[in-house]
Amino acid sequence: MKSAANASYTLGELAEHIDARLIGDPNIRIEGLSTLTDAGPQELAFLANRAYIKYLDETRAGAVLVHPAHGEGCPGARLELDNPYLGYARLSRLFDPLYQRSSQGVHPAAVVSPEAHIGANVEIGANSVIDAGVEIADGCVIGSGCSIGADCIIGAGSRLHANVTLYHGVIVGERAILHAGCVIGGDGFGFAHDGKQWEKIAQLGGVTLGDDVEVGSCSSIDRGALGDTRIGNGVKIDSQVQIAHNVQIGDHSALAGCVGIAGSTKVGRHCLLGGGVGLSGHLTLADGVQVTGMSLVTNSIHEAGVYSSGTGSMSNSQWRKNAVRFKQLDDIAKRLNRLERNARDD
Amino acid sequence: MKSAANASYTLGELAEHIDARLIGDPNIRIEGLSTLTDAGPQELAFLANRAYIKYLDETRAGAVLVHPAHGEGCPGARLELDNPYLGYARLSRLFDPLYQRSSQGVHPAAVVSPEAHIGANVEIGANSVIDAGVEIADGCVIGSGCSIGADCIIGAGSRLHANVTLYHGVIVGERAILHAGCVIGGDGFGFAHDGKQWEKIAQLGGVTLGDDVEVGSCSSIDRGALGDTRIGNGVKIDSQVQIAHNVQIGDHSALAGCVGIAGSTKVGRHCLLGGGVGLSGHLTLADGVQVTGMSLVTNSIHEAGVYSSGTGSMSNSQWRKNAVRFKQLDDIAKRLNRLERNARDD
Amino acid sequence: MKSAANASYTLGELAEHIDARLIGDPNIRIEGLSTLTDAGPQELAFLANRAYIKYLDETRAGAVLVHPAHGEGCPGARLELDNPYLGYARLSRLFDPLYQRSSQGVHPAAVVSPEAHIGANVEIGANSVIDAGVEIADGCVIGSGCSIGADCIIGAGSRLHANVTLYHGVIVGERAILHAGCVIGGDGFGFAHDGKQWEKIAQLGGVTLGDDVEVGSCSSIDRGALGDTRIGNGVKIDSQVQIAHNVQIGDHSALAGCVGIAGSTKVGRHCLLGGGVGLSGHLTLADGVQVTGMSLVTNSIHEAGVYSSGTGSMSNSQWRKNAVRFKQLDDIAKRLNRLERNARDD
């Protein structure tokens, strides 16, 4: 595999792929995607954000992907589409070397149990270990150094990058992408206290990932204590995320990097959790809830909307003074009450 | 290995295992554990939280594990125990496939140094690498893809899941559980500045884990700069946790997911750190300190108790107004002082 | 490899190595480094922090590394140097077993593509997988279980510990240290929304690490969407850090554990980010910016200096009262305004 795709398409082919209106020469050859400022004559640029309109007239791009309203500003060929960003997304995979290669089959240095079921056109990298009872459907790619525990099921067209670990009995839907170093199905953090020390509670549930789920590198999704941890269809999970046992994430929600979700919390559909957000255990978040970065949520949220916690950042010298006052805040509020009462009494 | 345990016990056997009082037919066959609402006639449910009493009379469970005070409410057979949650913990392992299988020995695709010492009934998974001088005591299970550096010592009955890394010289106690992708003994973050750039300080210490320690997936515990990083007996560490060089964690403390502890901090015994808690370096936390989720502790805590920082979460529109005021808080406090002074002067 | 270095030097050799002034017997044999309180007669201690002067006169160390101003207080032999901490750093590697061993070459259980270019004195551990087009320069050490994707370039003298993953096309400078379980070059978190669900944007950029970069265990650095994610020379990154696509980190900056940086943010040179700091996307931080632990930065910072957010920690009972008041803070400020107005009107 070459890391550069060496892919090349005519502008006409690209227009057809995303059903865009082509203004210009359909035979222009496009070898890659780039930004308006960096693109050269063999590249397609896109305008998806009004802030970049100013770069439009000077772009050297071979063609530009734009909303029809901005088409006039293009100095050369263009593809017009109502959602240029979506068009860019759909074209991007044509230029990704990961998607432009044929299956390498099962590497001789992979260790595949004779009791595993491996579909057609499956690639398994060197030094991956596939346990008994595993089912890997057609067209999957398993990177090198992966460990797939007993009885896991991986849906068609899924891709596990290198050094991914699935514990036993994990179910992965179709077209999933699991990035390197992520761990699915480790034990939830469950212990009973006997008065002196912690007694482990075996985690007897599993993990189910829906279709089109993506999990970032070094993220972990723990198996359920009883019953499964469930990640819905189309859920996108970034790197360094921790999802505890029996959490449920509704379809098409997106979790940015470093999010942590405690046990048994249910996140609705189409939710957005910013980077570093923390959710306490046993909460329910309604569909469409958005939480801004590094906020901590300790109560259920029953209405869609944007939620936040924390303070803004400031210079440390300013912050120190204010942080001291935060510790006096209840006292400040009571003194204000008193002054108001006295003012009224006067 | 099957991911389902296929374990099956009579109610009498389970009662004896946890020394519970059995009311009902000792021959009832139990094939799994479940919740009051989900359990079927072949399963044992438990009541450990008063909030679930309402589900007791309608449970279809074959038997229920309860406190004697709630036994009367059970519709069928029951096991009575003063601490039903602890009883559940102790029974749970009987149904865990990880504990119900015999050792598979050393896989032919494991790479074990001839200078390593491997005990009896040790299992080593495919593609694990065991360096010279390593001692693995009886009954340990090393998953696939692990890397065990030179001169590590692993106590009897410990289990390392897949893709765990131990750097050289790490000492692990008995019955430890290290989850997939965790890294023990990486370099602490130590550098001296020469005025222009950072000069690395070799991390010459080690890491010592006590007995019955559990470490979650993708967590990291760094080796000491000089002297060891020390994790006490019975300490439970969740996933995505970072423990820096020369930290000490007292016996039986528990650290939830995404906790980060900076260098040389000493956490006492029986402490509880909530998810995402941060501790600055060189602090001391007394025994029995609890810190709530995502709090940052920058000073030592000398008394047991519960500690917190941060603000609660709220709607973003409400939060924006309040966060602006936080930046004015010192000014607000001073103006209040002035008003009070003036009121007194009147 | 023995995990203890078994290194031994005369005091004269050590003095010469760091160009220090030796007062005492140059033939004293030193077998390790230690603290003033723990050192024995075969060890060299150092005094780098005034807080430890009190331990100087009772140290049993064979010799002490000190600033000339404190030399008089040493009970025995000493090495005098203007920056003793830097001297300690430079001596420390002499005692590190990782640096005191000769290359073991390519392990027979490593899987190295015939189309990879492997330099002189390169060590590759068992079960590592090196793809086609990879270039590994002279003197590199690749630990066991690593996965190096197609067309990666690794500069001379770099060290990858066990289970490191480099995706395709990652460029690593000279003398880099990548700790176990870290992942470089995973996909950035980029999706377009089609109104119903997320459409993946292929991440077509790469990752470039400068010279002398260190990355901690289980950290992840994502590849660019278009163009590269760039980590400057001499940048030190701790464990559990997440760096998103197209981030740029200036030379000689240091990022402590659990930092998270969102997409396209540019951090200047010589910046310091405390543990758990979060930076929103598309920001610019000037050279020399320092952010204290667990602060969230949501706006660009144009001047060097120290910045913070959050509240200090306190007892939970005190905190609860103040946190409630935080939600009333805008109201409190308005009521104060009103009182002041009324007071003026009186």
pLDDT-derived band of residue A4, with 50, 70 and 90 as boundaries? Answer: low
From A98-107, C3-12, C314-323, the region with the lowest mean pLDDT? C3-12
Q: Are residues A66 and A178 in the same domain?
A: no
DSSP-derived letter for residue B188 is P
Per-residue confidence band for C343, with pLDDT thresholds at 50, 70 and 90: confident
Concerning whether B17 is annotated as a catalytic residue, the answer is: no
For residues A61 and A130, state if they share a domain.
Answer: no
Contact A286, A301 (CB under 8 A): yes
Strands in B242-243's sheet, in edge-to-edge order, are B111-112, B129-130, B147-148, B165-166, B183-186, B220-222, B242-243, B260-261, B278-279, B296-297
- Residue B295: CB partners within 8 Å, gap ≥ 6? B274, B277, B278, B307, B308, B309, B310, C313
Give the DSSP per-residue string, A71-130.
GGG-SSEEEE-S-HHHHHHHHHGGG-TTTSS----B-TT-EE-TT-EE-TT-EE-TT-EE
Mean pLDDT of A291-317: 95
Please name which of A306, C33, A151 lies closest in space to residue B1, comparing C-alpha atoms.
A151
To the nearest 5 percent, what fractions of chain C are helix, strand and coil?
A: 15, 30, 55
Helix C11-18 vs helix C84-92: angle between axes, to the nearest 10 degrees?
A: 110
Sheet containing C229-231: give its strands across: C117-118, C135-136, C153-154, C171-172, C207-209, C229-231, C248-249, C266-267, C284-285
> What is the extent of the structural domain holding A242?
111-307
Same domain? A130 vs A254: yes
C321 — phi, psi (to 5°)? Answer: -65, -45
pLDDT band at A292 (very low <50, low <70, confident <90, very high): very high
Of the candidates C93, C145, C326, the beta carbon closest to that of B322 is on C326
Q: How large is the C-alpha radius of gyration of chain A?
A: 26
Q: Is C307 close to A330, i.e. CB distance below 8 A?
A: no
A2 found inside a domain: no
Residue C73 placed within a domain: yes
In this prediction, residue A36 carries a pLDDT of: 95
Neighbouring subunits of B (3+ Cβ pairs under 8 A):
A, C
User: Per mean pLDDT, which range of B127-141, B148-162, C324-338 is the poorest?
Assistant: C324-338
Q: Indicate which CATH number applies to the domain containing A51.
A: 3.40.1390.10
pLDDT at position A346 over 70: no
Whether residue A6 has pLDDT greater than 90:
no
For A233-251, what is each residue's pLDDT tens digit?
Answer: 999 999 999 999 999 999 9
- The number of CA neighbours under 13 Å toward the Cβ of C126 is 17
Residue B3 included in any domain: no
Q: Is the pLDDT reported for residue A130 higher than 60?
A: yes
Note the pLDDT tens digit of each residue in A132-166: 999 999 999 999 999 999 999 999 999 999 999 99
For chain B, give the mean pLDDT: 95
The pLDDT tens digits of the residues spanning B254-272 come to 999 999 999 999 999 999 9
DSSP code, position B14: H
Q: Are residues C222 and C136 in the same domain?
A: yes
Residue B127 distance to chain A (closest CA, Å)? 6
Does the residue A106 lie in any domain?
A: no
Count the neighbouring beta carbons within 10 Å of the beta carbon of residue B341.
Answer: 10
Task: For residue C101, tell me if it sits in a domain.
Answer: no
Same domain, A25 and A57: yes
> What CATH number is attached to the domain comprising C277?
2.160.10.10
A313, C309: Cβ pair inside 8 Å? Answer: yes
Instruction: Please tell me the predicted confidence (pLDDT) of residue A258.
Output: 98
CA dihedral B132, B133, B137, B138 (to 10 degrees): 50
On whether both A163 and A140 belong to a single domain, the answer is yes
| Closest CB to B276 among A182, A202, A260 | A260
pTM strictly above 0.90: yes
Model pLDDT for residues C286-340, shown as the tens digit of each residue: 999 999 999 999 999 999 999 999 998 999 999 999 999 999 999 999 999 999 8
B1, B163, B326 ranked by CB distance to A150: nearest: B1
Tens of pLDDT, residue by residue over A202-242, are 999 999 999 999 999 999 999 999 999 999 999 999 999 99
C1 pLDDT exceeds 50?
Answer: no
Angle at A310 between CA C320 and CA B275, to 5 degrees: 75
Nearest CA in chain C to B313: C327
Residue C77 has pLDDT above 60, yes or no: yes
Same domain as A288, residue A186: yes
CB-CB under 8 Å, C319 with B311? no
- Residue-level pLDDT at A280: 97
Of C45, C65, C95, the last residue of a domain is: C95
Mean pLDDT calculated for residue range A29-35 = 95
pLDDT at B4: 55
Q: Residues 6 or more apart from B263 whose CB is under 8 A from it?
A: B188, B189, B190, B225, B244, B245, B246, B247, B281, B282
Q: Quote the ipTM score.
A: 0.95
Q: Is-contact C180 B186, C-beta < 8 A? A: yes
| Residue B214: pLDDT over 70 | yes
One domain for residues B138 and B87:
no
Give C145's contacts in chain B (Cβ within 8 Å): 127, 129, 145-147, 163, 165
Q: Per the structure, how many domains does chain A have? A: 3
Decide which of C67, C95, C123 is a domain's last residue: C95
Tokens of C13: 């050799």
Looking at chain C, the whole-number percentage of residues with pLDDT higher than 70 is 98
C80 plus C199 within the same structural domain: no
Per-residue pLDDT, B5: 58
Same domain for C143 and C63: no
Domain-embedded: residue A212: yes
Which chain B residues contact residue C324 at CB under 8 A?
312
Contacts of A328 in chain B (CB under 8 A): 333
Question: Per-residue pLDDT tens for B298-321?
Answer: 999 999 999 999 998 999 999 999
CB-based contact B199 C311, cutoff 8 Å: no
Q: Does the residue A341 lie in any domain?
A: yes
Other C-beta atoms within 10 Å of A103: how many? Answer: 14
Contact B144 A129 (CB under 8 A): yes
C89 vs B298: CB contact, 8 Å cut-off? no
Let me know the angle formed at the C-alpha of C233 by C227 and C236, rounded to the nearest 5 degrees. 105
C25 belongs to a structural domain: yes
Distance between CA B233 and CA C281 in Å, rounded?
Answer: 41
Both A191 and A242 in one domain: the answer is: yes
Which pairs from A101-104 meet CB under 8 Å and 24+ separation? A101/A1, A103/A139, A103/A141
Task: Look at residue C4 and tell me whether its pLDDT is greater than 60.
Answer: no
Task: Please list every residue in chain A whose beta carbon sits closer than 8 Å to the beta carbon of residue B251.
Answer: 197
State the average pLDDT over residues B75-90: 96
| pLDDT at residue A173 is higher than 70 | yes
Tally of CA atoms within 13 A in the half-sphere of B305 that contains its CB: 13
Question: Distance (Å) from the C-alpha of residue C119 to the closest C-alpha of chain A?
Answer: 20
DSSP C204-241: ---EEE-TT-EE-TT-EEEPPSSS-EEE-TT-EE-TT-
Please indicate, yes or no, whether residues B207 and B72 belong to a single structural domain of this protein.
no
3-state secondary structure of B335: helix
Phi, psi of A55, rounded to the nearest 5 degrees: -90, -5
